[in-house]
Structure 1
Amino acid sequence: MTVPIAIIGTGIAGLAAAQALHKAGHAYRLFDKSRGAGGRMSSKRSEAGSLDLGAQYFTARDRRFVDQVNQWKAQGLVAEWTPLLYNAKEGQLSPSPDEQVRYVGTPRMGAIAKAMAVEEFTTFNCRITEVFRGAHHWHLLDAEGCSHGPFSHVIVAVPAPQATALLAAAPKLAGVVAGVQMEPTWAIALAFDTPLETPMQGCFVQGSPLDWVARNRSKPGRNDSPDTWVLHATSQWSKQHIDLPKEAVIEHLHGAFAELVNCAMPAPAFSIAHRWLYARPAGNHEWGALADADLGLYVCGDWCLSGRVEGAWLSGQDAARRLIEHLE
């Protein structure tokens, strides 16, 4: 009987690792604490429709990722997003067109992860709390006290602060990962019954609690009514208000949005807030993936590279490649 490889985390990094292992003919099992796949690429269903509260769009620069994006496009999972972009600085709004090609999942960002996660090989609603070595193989312990295994190798594909706790069996690896700082982001969505009278569809913001604003209906496949906007706070503001109640976060960021958009702004018909504790790495690393190959432990995530969606996918692929090479 083939002993499978365990992958903890079904964000893009974990899913990319699974994709590469499957292609090479290796059995795997995915675990995730959430109800569905995607991590920050997942979408939240709400009474205002499906909302991308995490990753807003992604870009493709590396040839390997470009090839992958083209495959997703062919499958109808991805489309180009060409928003009317603005910059906001010191209260002044100015158009900010650029040549950057931006992609979004369709009809929601979570469509990509949903297509990549094979349900029969995935265990959701399962928070892994410990990775330990038996006589010959690895085993995982979950928050309910249940053991999973045996596994020949383990790939940890979660944010660095969460990964550190799972690497007790590899102190050197744990030490490196513990040094990675990740920053939070408060995200909110506001829906208006009457569309706001602004041509803006995306905005990079400076000098405000807000960092980014996007009009949901401007993205392909999202002809939603009401007029829904997703707002991201800056890392600094999010850190300062990390434990603020969601209602207060919505009130603060709605106020900042009203200041930003120079038009009449009614009270939202719907609002929602989500706190991403580990939204982005504080610094850049060029690790690709991290490994203790002799032990059979591998670590990947967007924080191992650029912090972008592309970085997550490349990191997952790199972790799988290193593992496969070690087996050969």
Structure 2
Amino acid sequence: MTVPIAIIGTGIAGLSAAQALHQAGHAVQLFDKARGPGGRVSSKRSEAGALDLGAQYFTARDRRFVSQVQQWKEAGHVAEWKPALYNCKGGQLSPSPDEQTRWVGTPRMGAIARAMLDELPSTFSCRITEVFHGASLWHLLDAEGNQHGPFSHVVIAVPPAQATALLATAPKLAAVTAGVQMEPTWAVALAFDEALNTAMQGCFVQDSALDWVARNRSKPGRDDARDTWVLHATSAWSKEHLDLPKEAVIDHLHGAFAEILDCAMPAPSFSQAHRWLYARPAGGRDLGALADAHLGLYACGDWCMSGRVEGAWLSGHDAARRLLEHLQ
């Protein structure tokens, strides 16, 4: 009987590692505390439709990821997004000269994760709290007290604060993850029954509580009945207002949005707020992935790289490569 490899976390990094290991002929078992895959590329279902509250789009620069994106495009999982993009500085809007290629999942960002997961064995709504060794194999303990295993290796693909707790048996790796600081982001979705009077479909914002705004229906494959917008607050504002009630966050960011558009801003017919505690790493890194090949423990995530979707995919790919090299 083949002993599988455990992968904790089904964001892009965990899914990337799982795909690479599966394609190399190894059995994998994925675990995630959420109800579905994707992490920050997952989409939230709501009465206003599917909302991309996390990653808004992604770019592709590394040739390996470019090749992967082309495969997703051919399969219909992603499409290029060409928004009317603006900058806002000091309350003044101006068209953005940024012409890089932006990709989005279709019909929602979460489609990428669903495609990557495919039929790989996975257990959701399961928060792993401990990774421990027994009889030369690995076992996992979840928050309900259930034990999972045995596993030959473990790939930990969760935010660094959570990874640190799971790496108790690998102090050197835990010391690295403990030193990674993540920045939070408040995200708000607002839906309007009548379309707002603006040509803007995406905007990079400065000198505001807001960092980014996007018109959801401008993305390919969306069929929003209402004019739905996603607003992201800056890391600094989010950190300062981390425990603000969601209603207050919505009110404040709605007001900041109205200031940017400088047009009659009606009350939204729908609003939702989501707090991403671990939205992006503070400062750039190029760790690839963390590995203790002797123990059989690996850690990966966007925090190992750029904080972008591409960085997450490359980190998971690197974790799988290191594991496979050790097996040779």
- Alpha-carbon shift at residue 223 of structure 1 (Å): 2.8
Indicate the residue corresponding to 2:79 in structure 1: 79
Q: Secondary structure at the match of 2:224?
A: coil
Corresponding position of 1:308: 308
- CA offsets, 1:24-74, max 9 Å, x none? 000010000000000000000100000000000000000000000000000
Give the match for residue 53 of structure 2: 53
- Give TM-score, length-normalised by structure 1: 0.99
Quick one: distance in 1 between partners of 2:219 and 2:312? 22
Q: How does 1:27-106 map to 2 (within 5 A)?
A: 27-106=27-106
Residues 75-118 of structure 1 deviation map (CA, whole Å, 9 limit, x = unaligned): 00000000000100011111113220000000000001011113
Q: Is this contact kept in 2: 1:84–1:97, CA < 8 A? A: no
The one-letter code matched in structure 2 to 1:300 is C
Deviations 1:274-324 (A, max 9, x none): 000000000111110001110000000001011100000000000000000
1:153-181 CA-partner distances (Å, limit 9, x unpaired): 00000111111110000011100110000
Identity over the aligned pairs, expressed in percent?
80
Q: Give, in whole Å, the separation in 2 of the partners of 1:47 and 1:119.
A: 28
Question: Secondary structure of the residue that 1:158 maps to in structure 2?
Answer: coil
CA contact (8 A) 2:28 2:120 kept: no
Moved more, 110-119 or 160-169: 110-119
Q: Cα distance, 1:18 vs. partner?
A: 0.4
Change (3 A) 1:232 1:218: same
Q: Deviation string for 1:228-263 (max 9, x for gaps)?
A: 000000000000000011000000100100111121
Residue 317 of structure 1 aligns to which amino acid in structure 2? H
Kept in 2: contact 1:9–1:156 (CA 8 A): yes
CA contact (8 A) 2:184 2:239 kept: yes
- Is the CA contact 1:185–1:279 (under 8 Å) kept in the aligned structure 2? yes
Name the aligned partner's letter for residue 127 of structure 2. Answer: R
Aligned counterparts, 1:145-156, within 5 A: 145-156=145-156
Normalised to the residue count of structure 2, the TM-score between the two structures is 0.99
> Following the alignment from structure 1 to structure 2, what is the Cα–Cα distance between the partners of residues 226 and 263?
18
In the TM superposition, 1:1-328 aligns within 5 A as 1-119=1-119, 121-328=121-328
Aligned Cα root-mean-square deviation (Å) = 0.7
* CA–CA distance in structure 2, aligned partners of residues 162 and 246 of structure 1: 24
Cα distance in 2, alignment partners of residues 152 and 262 from structure 1:
58
Find the aligned partners of 1:201 and 1:64 in 2 and give their Cα distance. Answer: 30
Structure 2 residue identity aligned to 1:92: Q
**3-state SS, counterpart of residue 150 of structure 1:** strand
- Which secondary structure state, in structure 2, belongs to the residue aligned with residue 175 of structure 1? helix
Mean Cα displacement is larger for which, 118-127 or 300-309? Answer: 118-127
2:290 aligned partner, one-letter code: L
CA separation in 2, counterparts of 1:283 and 1:154?
27
**Alignment gaps of 5+ in structure 1:** none
Q: Please say if residues 32 and 123 of structure 2, whose CA atoms lie closer than 8 Å, have aligned partners that are also in contact.
A: yes
Please say which of residues 18-27 and 114-123 is displaced more in the overlay: 114-123
1:10 counterpart SS class: coil
- Distance in 1, matches of 2:326 and 2:225, equals 52
Structure 1 ranges of 4+ moved more than 6 A: none
Shift of 1:119: 4.3
Distance 1:275 1:4 in 2: 34
